[in-house]
Amino acid sequence: MKSSSFNPVAPQILTFAACDDVRPEQGGKVTLIGFYGRSIVVHALPTTLPKLCFFAQFDAPSWRPGTMRVRLTSPSGNLMVETPSINVTPTEEPSVIPTEFRNAIVVIQFAPMVLSEEGVHVVEYEFPGMPPYRFQVFVAANPAPS
């Protein structure tokens, strides 16, 4: 008898963003507040942001309920923060939405967030048994003109 092993399908990432806050709205919408995209410019380093959020939208048809971890690493390679293992499931969407158009949104908030190094910071989303998704966010200081 052949044994069959479960081969998980990696969820496809649709959107990634860094921002100050993410707020759920009526009708399943979300609002991104203080959108940085992939670069964060501050007046000086080190600095403390009241909150830093990472927004990730995944393709729900390939999503399997389970756990994940999120890590943020500094340009010098130091682990800044790591979440414990988080249970995640796809967003419940109305049945009128075809399966191929459904998504799963994961919002990770760090409050407060101390940024002390200029350069490329790496955000990793890690699902068990799959290679991590890695996103780069560049942090830079741009002092206000005198």
138: left (phi over 0), alpha (psi -120 to 50) or beta: beta
**Is the per-residue pLDDT at 4 higher than 50?**
no
Contact yes or no for 89/31 (Cβ under 8 A): no
* Mean pLDDT (whole number) for 97-114: 88
Average pLDDT of the chain is 87
pLDDT tens per residue across span 86-105: 887 766 666 788 878 878 88
Instruction: Note the pTM of the prediction, 2 decimals.
Output: 0.84
Is a pLDDT exceeding 90 seen at residue 134?
A: yes
Cα distances (angstroms) measured from residue 12 to each of 15, 58, 100: 10, 6, 12
Residues 6+ apart with CB under 8 A from 126: 68, 69, 70, 71, 132, 133
pLDDT at 128 over 90: no
Q: Is 21 helix (H, G, I), strand (E, B) or coil?
A: strand
Closest by CA to 129, choosing from 37, 14, 4, 9, is 9
> Are the CB atoms for 15 and 55 separated by under 8 Å?
yes
8 A C-beta contact, residue 60 and residue 89: no
Question: Which residues, other chains included, contact 38 with Cβ-Cβ below 8 Å and sequence gap of 6+?
Answer: 16, 17, 18, 135, 136, 137, 138
Burial group, residue 21, by CB count within 10 angstroms (0-12, 13-18, 19+): middle
| The dihedral sign for the CA sequence 10, 67, 79, 52 | positive
